[in-house]
Amino acid sequence: MVESNSEIKTDVPENSPEIEPIVELNGVYKIFKQGHLEVIALKNINLTVMPGELIVVMGPSGSGKTTLLNVISGMDKPNAGSVKIKNLDVTRLKDEGIQKLLQYEIGIIFQFFNLIPSLTAAGNIELPMNIIKVPKVERKERVKTLLAQVGLENRARHRPFTLSGGEKQRVAIAQAFANNPSLILADEPTGNIDSVSAEKIMNIFHETMLNNPEKAVIIVTHDPAFRKIADRTLVLRDGEITREIGKLSQSEQNHFTGDITNGDSKFTAINDRHQIAKEVIEGPKEYPKFSEIKKCPSCGSTRILKNFDKNHSSLSIRDQNIIGIVAIACLDCHQVQFETVTLFNIKKDLNLL
Ligand SMILES: Nc1ncnc2c1ncn2[C@@H]1O[C@H](COP(=O)(O)OP(=O)(O)OP(=O)(O)O)[C@@H](O)[C@H]1O
Ligand SMILES: [Mg+2]
């Protein structure tokens, strides 16, 4: 978003010696103690984020997503392990060092906007630059650029209470980018806004990353649509990274079919189907019976809906077995998965062959 140009990001070669990771977590544990109770909020987290990467973090409530961001930003100290931002060991920094880190290197976007009510949109965006004493002319110029980049040129003089939720969040994004940080951390940036504004915000993140390949973004969200723009999606459960999903292919992105509404929960059908097809063809796999699927394959939650997406279910025959593909929607991590299930054996169960 900062140097706005139309260049598409070039892929950063992995393991290149001269490119340093922006974030490096090794064996990170965070334990909260409350009386006799201990909550292990993060358990042996290992994570490396390179420049140009957009990481999405999903997982049920209480799985440690916010704690992960707090540990990365230095706001929470881990009980064990190391946290490095651009090779700087954050766990060794004193308060003043953390403050500098937050002023220069890390921009944070919260779910509830965190804007100062008495300042205008422009004033809020300018604030981080005031704090580090950016000269006035440069500040004003930059506010203008940032407002344009989040599409709010004509809201510069509005105070937060006169802005919609989506607009407030766009101001918060511009504010997080004000001091040109290397790392942006966003905690549920679309948690409180309607789906049209959410999509706009998702696109702002995406464009920002395309235009700033030297930066990295970590977004915590319950919105599966963010998988479309993610280079990697991490699934947290009980403080552990239980799954890491790579970038969706172009065809998967194209097939990302929007929302399927089921009661209060919103899901997006994700085309993991050719993976499933591959498993069906190649095996070997023990196919669970429909009734045996009790957990979300992604996060392990037992709060799942089976076969809710009938349009994407199908039947095929393999080794005289009728195999069905069942869509499973998880009420916790909001992912849709496709599981293969042996429904019955034609020979044994039906005596047909
Ligand atoms: N300051 C704290 N003191 C004690 N326990 C805490 C503290 N902060 C977090 N926890 C606990 O750590 C666990 C992880 O919390 P965290 O806020 O990281 O979850 P989360 O994945 O962000 O959840 P949500 O999706 O609801 O925001 C929870 O069990 C929570 O109760
Ligand atoms: Mg949280």
Q: Are 327 and 347 in contact (CB under 8 A)?
A: no
Instruction: Assess whether pLDDT exceeds 50 at residue 278.
Output: no
**For residue 217, pLDDT beyond 80:** yes
Say how many Å lie between the CA of residue 37 and the centre of ligand 1: 14
Q: With a 6 A CB cut-off, is 191 part of the ligand 1 pocket? A: no
- Full strand arrangement of the beta sheet holding 183-187: 106-109, 183-187, 216-220, 54-58, 232-237, 240-245
What number does the ligand 1 atom closest to the CA of 188 have? Answer: 27
**Average of per-residue pLDDT across 311-328:** 64
How does DSSP assign 255-306, residue by residue? T---EEEETTEEEE----HHHHHHHHHH----PPPGGG--S-TTT--S-EEE
* Mean pLDDT of the chain, nearest integer: 79
Residue 68 vs residue 332, higher pLDDT: 68
CB 111 within 8 A of CB 173: no
**Secondary element (H or E) of residue 196:** helix 195-211
Residue identifier of the C-alpha nearest atom 12 of ligand 1: 41
Distance from the CA of 62 to the center of ligand 1, in angstroms?
5
**Between 208 and 182, where is the model more confident?**
182
Q: Can you give the pLDDT at residue 154? A: 94
Q: What single string gives the DSSP state of each residue in 19-81?
A: PPPSEEEEEEEEEEEETTEEEEEEEEEEEEE-TT-EEEEE--TTSSHHHHHHHHHTSS--SEE
Only one residue has tokens 């849709």, namely 336
Q: Which of 29, 32, 331 to mutate to test the pocket of ligand 1 (most atoms within 8 A of CB)?
A: 32
Q: What predicted TM-score, i.e. pTM, was given to this entire model? A: 0.72
The whole-angstrom separation of Cα 90 and Cα 75 is 10
What digits encode the pLDDT tens for the residues 148-201? 988 899 999 999 999 988 899 999 999 999 999 999 999 998 887 777 788 888
147-162 pLDDT per residue, tens: 998 889 999 999 999 9
Q: How far does residue 219's CA lie from ligand 2's centre (Å)?
A: 11
CB atoms within 10 A of CB 317: 9
Between these two residues, 1 and 252, which has the higher pLDDT value? 252
Rounded to whole angstroms, the Cα distance separating 121 from 140 reads: 12
- Residues 72-86: b if buried by 16+ CB within 10 A, e if exposed: bbbbbebeebebbbb
Ligand 1 within 6 A of 64 CB? yes
Higher pLDDT, residue 299 or 14: 299
Ligand number with the minimum distance to the CA of 110: 2
Q: What domains are there in the chain, each with its CATH number?
A: 23-247 (3.40.50.300), 259-350 (no CATH)
